[in-house]
Amino acid sequence: MLSWGDARIGNLMYAGNTPVAVLDWEMATVGPAELDLGWFVYLHRFFQDLAELAGLPGLPGFLRRQDVERRYTERTGHVPREMDFYTAYAAIVHGVIMYRIATRAVDFGASVAPENADDMILHRASIEKMLDGTYWDDVA
């Protein structure tokens, strides 16, 4: 099936409460629906984690993984599988993107490279928690 690749709320246009356009297709590929579901859930979690790090409440009850999976199943009849994998995959892909943004800033003299290159990944701690299986324990 066609995977959008950048499934996130910021890439949808609405007329009222109805989606009317899907934007930003440069990461499109062929793959399972879980690729987009994982990205959709993870991108909200990324911004939620940033809000909490800044001492802000964010939207903790919005786009919760179990709610997205349940709603997707109700609407399509397909039960998402292996979502731990697909959300971790999304976090890693996003980490690569964030790493490249950070290295570009270093290349252009806008920042200084840290001693440990892994520190250039803004959400490294979240990725590490996903990989060791503890991330979702801390998420309501």
Specify whether 6 is catalytic: yes
Burial of 140: CB neighbours in 10 Å, binned 0-12, 13-18, 19+: exposed
**How many C-beta atoms surround the C-beta of residue 59 within 10 A?**
12
CA geometry: angle 71, 74, 75, nearest 5 deg: 85
Measured CA to CA, the distance from residue 27 to residue 9 in angstroms comes to 15
Per annotation, catalytic residue among 6, 49, 84, 138: 6
Bridge pairing between strands 29-30 and 18-22:
unpaired
Which positions are annotated as active-site residues? 6
